[in-house]
A and B are shown apart, each in its own frame.
Chain A
Amino acid sequence: MDLEKLRETAAEVVARDDVKYLIGWKKGTFGYRVMPGFVEDAESAAELIFSPLCTANLATYLTLVEKPPLPRGQEPDKRKVAIMVKGCDSRAVTQLLMEKGIERENVVIIGCHCPGMVDPALLAEKYPEAEEPAEIKWSDDGFVLVRNGEETNLSRDEVLAEKCKLCRYPNPVVSDITLGEPVEPWEPAEDTGVAEVEGKDVDNRWEYWQEQFANCLRCYSCRNVCPLCYCEDCILDRLNPTWVYRSVNFSENTAFNLARAFHLAARCIECGECERVCPANIPLGKLNRKLAREVREKYGYEPGTDPEAEPFQAGYKPDDPEDFIM
């Protein structure tokens, strides 16, 4: 993508009277990190980037906005928020629109055609992170890592993020402005992660998740980063009644993780953010992708692909399949 074009477009968008700010990606402070950037003027628009390191889904910031009580007489700022989205991120925005979590007229969607992102953790295993923020570019058959003026070619398979290997929507499904050239969708890889867990017998599967959930720290980074976990009053924060105890043990951790997975069934758009941010390395993507696949295969339904469609749970057809229901 032409970065000049991106920065120019962003500067134009934030110069509009009806736009509050733009959320995009900025260079990080070290290694393979990229940070969300909140752009309010042309000067900060010049810091925006779009590179294979922009794995993060920024859509969560659309609903993470805090609304502290305003001083008497002050009107809320009702201007639009502009947001940069990749294909997967645009599905989150679409799902939010479908659920009326956000209103279409309140957002300016800047869609970026996405050739696929690298997995920064995978990359760091092979090429340890350095003090200076690294630059990564797309090449014809993969990526180029630029460090200290030295270029290293990386094959696509070597460092492509898992979510991108499985991706079916590299182009934004909704946008007001699009940047870059449309990408030819690739054949999604087989979901070996889910298959591996499915291959275990019931006892081993239970043991597997027991081991994973036992490590959960309940930091709620998965919940907070998730663009579709946006209840104003979350069941986890409730104290009266306390639906999920604060005690960090296998039982409560399981209740939390499974409750979240079920709340996301037929809503998760598989952006993989939960798994990326988990400090305990819990493979949450496997859980959410399994549920997404069930819904896709049983009902032919894919969340976040059509802003006009009905949310899955709101729809009912007399001939909905039920042969797998006991």
Chain B
Amino acid sequence: MSAMLLNKEKWPDFIGKLAGKELWAPQVDSNGLRFAPVAEGEVPSLDFSNTRVPPKEVVFPQTETLFRFKSGSEELKQPQPGKERVLLGVRPCDARSMKIIDKLFNWDEEDPYYLKRREQVTLVGLACTEPGLNCFCTSVNGGPASTEGLDLLMVDLGESYFLEQVTKKGGSLLEELKELLEEAGNDSQEQKESIAGEAANKIKRSIDTEGIPAGLPGLWEDPLWQRVSASCLGCGTCTYLCPTCHCFDIQDETEGQEARRCRMWDSCMFREYTLHASGHNPRSTRRERTRNRINHKYNYYVDKFDVIACVGCGRCINLCPVNIDIVDVLGQVKEALR
């Protein structure tokens, strides 16, 4: 089974069939759109642009308890293992981001917490037909119908969804749902290709990344870092909402005689990030921290893992309180390299 069609009328049945699994989809809460478990009997809508917080939070939660312990006891209690989850409506950029951070969590040490969650999740993607204003996935090897990182890709053909199997996991999901599906013919395949092409053409922002990873080390002391960081507030918006940012901190937190060891997202834009116990901070100003953010994504990660750690989702551009715009910053990098 490689490509199938699902008539939109059967969408509620499709969801019904998945009822035995923990199903997550973008849902509107009081403050915006976010991935959340779908309540029983509810049918999620796929009419959305993208979530505010990327779905990386499902596999790499902002705070997670690693284990609990008690005063006077040597026992370490691990939390109950999570369940199999199906994420519905993952945008191709966000799926690619997971593939990218997999490399980090599989690097020198395997991270059992992340990898376990990753193994338990099935990503059902939804190709973009109306990219957002600041999307630039096509500049960083992605695309509105990219399948990288996904298990299954859905493309909206109007009256039906085109379902493309990407991995075995995606295939077995299709197998479970097969009585609702019909084989996709060549015409649907062509329609899918043309929709994907049109969507790519709608992307307005772009940056030619050629030469950036190799050029960044030479710009270490360039005045551009002072210029772009002057207005930076040093908040965590860009990093916390970035689907590829993966820095974390580990801390022990007590509750009376009990305590938990947990890890939580950290942000290289914070002033206490890399602050040494001595009081010295090797990145003591926002200039150095901004330089690090760009270098980490467009230089160090490329050097280490051969891929740019940015998927062009545009969240940092949309949500930066002071309009620090990564496409603009990269433009200034290119300018400085000329």
Within 8 A of B (CB), among A190-236: 211-212, 215, 217-221, 223-225
Q: Check: B214 CB closer than 8 A to any chain A CB.
A: no
Interface residues on A, range: 35 or more
Residue interface bits A8-43, CB-to-B below 8 A is 1, else 0:
000000000000000000001111011111100000
A60: Cβ under 8 A from any B Cβ: yes
User: Are A280 and B272 also in contact (CB < 8 A) when A131-B205, A219-B235, A224-B233 are?
Assistant: no
Shortest A216–chain B CB gap in Å is 9
Q: Are A281 and B32 in contact (CB under 8 A)?
A: yes
Given contacts A30-B133, A279-B52, contact A64 B234 (CB under 8 A): yes
B84: Cβ under 8 A from any A Cβ: no
Which residues does chain A contribute within 8 Å of B265, judged by CB atoms? Answer: 248
B19 contacts chain A at the CB level, 8 A cutoff: no
B53 touches A217 (CB 8 A): yes
Within 8 A of A (CB), among B45-70: 52-53, 62-63
Interface stretch, picked from B8-16, B183-191, B318-326, is: B318-326
The SS class assigned to the B binding surface is: loop
B204 contact set on A, CB distance < 8 A: 131
Contact B235 A28 (CB under 8 A): no
Interface mask (A267-282 → B, CB under 8 Å = 1, otherwise 0): 0000000001101111
Least CB separation from A238: chain B residue: B272
In the complex the two chains form, what is the Cα distance from A312 to B63 in whole Å? 38
Q: Assess whether A246 is interfacial by the CB under 8 Å rule.
A: yes
Shortest distance in angstroms between B35's beta carbon and chain A's nearest beta carbon? 13
Whether A246 pairs with B249 at a CB distance below 8 angstroms is: yes
Instruction: Check A38 against B63 for contact (C-beta < 8 Å).
Output: no
In the complex, are the beta carbons of B264 and A215 less than 8 A apart?
A: no
Point out the residue from A34, A38, A60, A218 that lies within 8 Å of B323, measured CB to CB. Answer: A34
> Does B165 belong to the interface (CB within 8 Å)?
no
Q: Are B322 and A36 in touch, CB under 8 angstroms?
A: yes
B31 touches A224 (CB 8 A): no
- The answer to whether residues A218 and B52 also contact, given A56-B322, A277-B321 and a CB cut-off of 8 A, is no
A interface residues, Cβ below 8 angstroms from B: 28-31, 33-38, 56, 60-61, 64, 66, 68-69, 128-131, 211-212, 215, 217-221, 223-225, 237, 239, 242, 245-249, 276-277, 279-282
Instruction: List 20 extra interface pairs beyond A28-B323, A280-B52, CB under 8 A.
Output: A30-B134, A35-B231, A35-B322, A36-B231, A38-B230, A66-B284, A66-B285, A129-B133, A211-B29, A219-B240, A221-B236, A223-B235, A224-B233, A224-B234, A225-B233, A237-B271, A239-B272, A276-B321, A279-B52, A280-B32
